[in-house]
Amino acid sequence: MPKKRLQIKDSQVKKNLKWYILRLLRLSNRTKQKLIDKLHDMYIGYWQVNNELIDINLNKITDEGLIKYSSDKYQITEKGLNALQKKEKDIKRYHTRRFSKEACASYSLWGNVGLSALEFIIGFLSGSIGLIADAIHTAVDIIASAITWVGIKINKEAQAALIGGIILCGIGVFIAFESITKISQPVEIHFQTIALVTIVINIAVNGFFSFYKFYIGGQKRSISLIADAYHTKTDIWSSVAVLIGLLGATIGFLMLDAIAGAVVSFFIIFGGYELIRESNKVMHGEDPKLEKFSKFLKTHLEVLPERGTFVSLWFFNLQEMTKKENLERVKKGFGRRFPIGLKDEDYESIYDHIEKNCLIESSQDSFRITEKGKRELKILAEMPIATNIGTQRKFMDSRKINWFAEGL
């Protein structure tokens, strides 16, 4: 089967085309054809440039006074520069507000509280032992986090984790007993559709929070958030077991719901065991959270040269620039979106890779991309990448181009 070629549609470009034009004109005045060529370069040929769409945007932003046409060239006006500055301040504010450790922890806590309450209510109404077990699983996670937080406050984190682990194991054993009893005496599930929708919502929300905590934890290099993200990722599998149980009960295999409850109880017991084991490690001077964080850090630093090379070459492909200018643009358009917060030595590793492989060449006081660099850009754009929640996609897409363009 032939490999599916990456394609970007007009609808994916249309929303941000105005800002692309303003950013390109901020770099230098350009003729219409030069603008078209640069927009083609931005998408590395994966967008079939729509001249009519470009004309519409040029006319619109000219009428708004953001650009003007003079001597066969378009140039940005003072009003256009102010509009760009406002846009960039809005982006910065958005990142400050949404992508902080405090916001992530708060959203995650209230998200878990909401999910647990929803599952409890629907679980009792429907009679699903699997849904009730998953609700308890979510609730005890909140309690365990609270116990750990108290332990940190009183400087007894290891002892608090040990107590939390014992409580978790006890609750897990109780749920296992209740679930196993129901296997031999299964009960009918009411409101099956609502129960199914509830567990699907749970899986979707936990998937989002897992990704969110990995992202914020990596960006802020937060050991606790990364460890919690791994835990949330594991919780998804217990919810999947409940989904399978409910689907089975829907088609007449009522005992599958009780089996799902037993599976969830295993996850609760395992979670308790993990807390006890980690508390023992802490008491012996080890840091299990640091181990998970180090694994996460290593995974992303291994792919940094490739990801960073793409973005650095992407900027060089648009315009000749000095290394310092390129570095500033890479930091602004890529650094704040990469899954981990990058340091100066990390950016240097990108340039080591570029120079070693002759992907750029000097041009007076600046550097420009070589033909080999352009070929490498195409190869990297098509490269598949795996995410923290298990999905795969090509490295380049229209959304990422918008992120990178923030550095222009």
What does the pLDDT look like over 98-142, one tens digit per residue? Answer: 777 777 777 777 887 888 888 878 777 777 767 777 777 777 667
Q: Which of 81, 98, 115 is the last residue of a domain?
A: 98
Residue 255 and residue 199 share a domain: yes
Instruction: Please give the structure tokens belonging to residue 55.
Output: 């004309």
Query: How do strand 384-386 and strand 392-394 relate by DSSP bridges?
Result: antiparallel
CB 47 within 8 A of CB 93: no
CATH code of the domain containing 202: 1.20.1510
Residue 120 and residue 77 share a domain: no
Query: How do strand 67-70 and strand 366-369 relate by DSSP bridges?
Result: unpaired
Q: Model's pTM, two decimal places?
A: 0.71
CATH code of the domain containing 84: 1.10.10.10
Mean pLDDT of the chain: 78
Q: Which residues contact 392 (CB under 8 A, 6 or more apart)?
A: 384, 385, 386
The answer to whether residue 156 sits within a structural domain is yes
Instruction: Please give the structure tokens belonging to residue 97.
Output: 């507000």
Residue 81: other Cβ atoms inside 10 A: 14
pLDDT in tens, 238-268: 777 777 777 777 766 666 666 766 777 777 7
Residue 49 and residue 195 share a domain: no
Please state, in angstroms and as integers, the Cα–Cα distance from residue 162 to each residue in 140, 178, 323, following that order.
Answer: 14, 25, 52
- Does the pLDDT at position 306 exceed 80? yes
* pLDDT at position 241: 74
CA 357/CA 353 separation, integer angstroms: 6
Number of domains in the chain: 3
Containing structural domain, residue 107: 102-286
Q: Which of 286, 307, 322 is the last residue of a domain?
A: 286
CA 258/CA 260 separation, integer angstroms: 5
Residue 247 and residue 202 share a domain: yes
CB 301 within 8 A of CB 344: no
Q: Which of 238, 255, 286 is the last residue of a domain?
A: 286
Provide the residue type at 367 as one letter.
Answer: F
